[in-house]
Amino acid sequence: MAQVPDVGSHVRLKLTTHDGDTTIEGVVLPPAVAEHITVKLANGYNISHPLSSIEILSAEQPVASESVEFHAPSMNPDLPTVRIVHTGGTIASKVDYTTGAVTAQFEPSELVEHVPELLNIANLDVHKIGNMFSEDIRPNHWNQIIDASERAFADGCVGVVVTHGTDTLHITASAVAFAWCGKGGNPPGRIAFVGSQRSSDRASSDAAQNLISAVKWAAEGPQPTGELSDAVVVSMHTTSDDGACSIHAATGVRKLHSSRRDAFRPVNTMPLATVHIDNSDVSLNLGHHYEEARSTIQSRSAASEASRFNENIVIRQMIAGPWLTTQEIQDAVGSNVDALVIHGTGLGHLPIENPNNDAPQNIELHDALAQLNIPALVVNQCIHGPVNMNVYSKGRIQQDIGLLGHGLTSSPEAAVVKLHFALSNDMDVASTMAENLFGEQQQTILN
């Protein structure tokens, strides 16, 4: 049996397989299975093979990493300046060969260093908030990003790019959109959120083109109107192939696949624009619906300040269906939450009727909801399509007992952020949720 090289070693192995011998090269990871060797290949994928059927052709011991100093590139007076606000996520991640795990450890300067094409689009500077995976981001981080965007514009940047993990990217992007536009404002420049589905050191990474697209929008995109949910956007791959990235309205997009490079899809709308990337040729094309809408509305004036979120607001979320009972409502109220959000079925329905007289818990749930003294918002479990409580009698009953959400067309997460924003800024929740504050209520619903 072969002696396993140290983790981190670069190896060249001859493998004996059912189809004959083959040769591979890569970096040794901790073994995934006992009596096997696990190797990270150059294409980013891992392979495990029994030690009993390998021959080690060469093995280079891991070299201790050296500290690398990155220098800011010289400023080009002919280019605008964009600030990258760095929070972490897969776009800032690489494989840790001591554990085999992907960890958030790229520095923002390294991102710029690895994508030199960016320097043909804009002068870049970087503000680092942290190296966090997005599931760890909370409202206090939203406020830090809002702070950073304000400082960037005050320093003369024409745009801001926020690097962020993908799992909650659309939530944070919606929060920044409400902060800048929810009270009638408009940022002085463009704000683009960007992430990646594959870590930046993988051959299959989508990070570089997503980042190029985001910087292109931040540097050269149209001035946001403040009325078309265009002040804050999300830049991600259009398809699984390279070559094009979509620019989505932050409040009208959602991650709909756990691993595909085109995981982000519009919700009840269409992308605002597409960035086409062909080697060094990067072009920005506005969507016809967005270009037409821009020509028919009055853009808002730019503001220097945004609103903030109350970091102590607590919103309890639950799912409508066979398991929703009064107990969940009582537990939430008993823990002094500020609001409830229920992800309703279909057009936004809850189990609150008992037509066969054999489900008394439905009536109990109806009564518990009717007695609430905190806001209760219904969003769409289907993701796509509106919350419409006028179609069925059940929906009208829900409106009669004070449930909010009728007419919502934004992503469900954007609606929850809107609720948090209203509570944070002492706004009337019922009227605010029904109002289209800055275009988050998408008017271009697709069937």
Domain architecture of the chain: domains with CATH: 10-60 (2.30.30.520), 81-294 (3.40.50.1170), 315-434 (3.40.50.40)
For the chain, how big is the Rg over CA atoms in Å? Answer: 25
Among candidate residues 87, 163, 166, 168, the one labeled active-site is 166
Distance between CA atoms of residues 124 and 215, nearest Å: 9
Q: What band does 126 get if pLDDT is binned at 50, 70 and 90?
A: confident
Nearest-angstrom CA–CA distance, 403 and 395: 9
Q: Respond yes or no: is residue 167 known to be catalytic.
A: yes
**Which residue is catalytic, options 40, 216, 255, 394?**
255
> Percent of the chain at pLDDT above 90?
69
Q: What is the DSSP letter of 297?
A: S
Contact 92, 52 (CB under 8 A): no
Q: How many helices (H) and strands (E) does the chain have?
A: 10, 20
Question: Mean pLDDT over residues 30-56, rounded?
Answer: 81
CB of 375 closer than 8 Å to CB of 356: no
Of 38, 40, 163, 167, the catalytic one is 167
Instruction: State phi, psi for 104 to the nearest 5 degrees.
Output: -80, 100
Contact 388, 349 (CB under 8 A): no
What is the per-residue DSSP string for 318-368?
EE-STT--HHHHHHHHHTT-SEEEEEEBTTTB-S---TTS--HHHHHHHHH
Whole-number Å distance between alpha carbons of 414 and 418: 6
Instruction: List pLDDT tens digits, range 169-199.
Output: 999 999 999 999 999 999 999 999 999 887 6
- For the CA atoms of 229, 234, 235, 239, what is the dihedral angle to 10 degrees? -100
Q: Which of 87, 90, 409, 432 is catalytic?
A: 90
Ramachandran quadrant class, 86 (left: phi over 0; alpha: psi -120 to 50; beta: rest): beta
As a whole number of angstroms, the distance between CA 73 and CA 77 comes to 12
Residue 23 has pLDDT above 70, yes or no: yes
Per-residue pLDDT tens over the stretch 391-433: 999 999 999 999 999 999 999 999 999 999 999 999 999 999 9
Residue showing tokens 């992800």: 343
Label residue 66 exposed, middle or buried (CB < 10 Å: 0-12, 13-18, 19+).
Answer: exposed
Q: Which amino acid is at 262?
A: D
Quick one: which of 72, 70, 42, 37 has its CA closest to 55?
37
pTM passes above 0.85:
no
On whether the CB atoms of residues 268 and 385 are closer than 8 A, the answer is yes
> What confidence category does residue 65 fall into, taking pLDDT thresholds of 50, 70 and 90?
very low
Tokens of 223: 């001035």
Paired with 393 in beta bridges are none
Enumerate the β-bridge partners of residue 54. Answer: 15
For position 73, what pLDDT does the model report?
61
Stretch 67-76: mean pLDDT:
58
Q: How many CB atoms lie within 10 A of CB 436?
A: 14
User: Is 166 one of the catalytic residues?
Assistant: yes
Tallying the residues shown for the chain, one arrives at: 447
| Per-residue CA distances from 282 to 209, 265, 278 (Å) | 10, 22, 6
Distance CA 374, CA 404 (A): 11
Is residue 158 within 8 Å of residue 192, measured between CB atoms? no
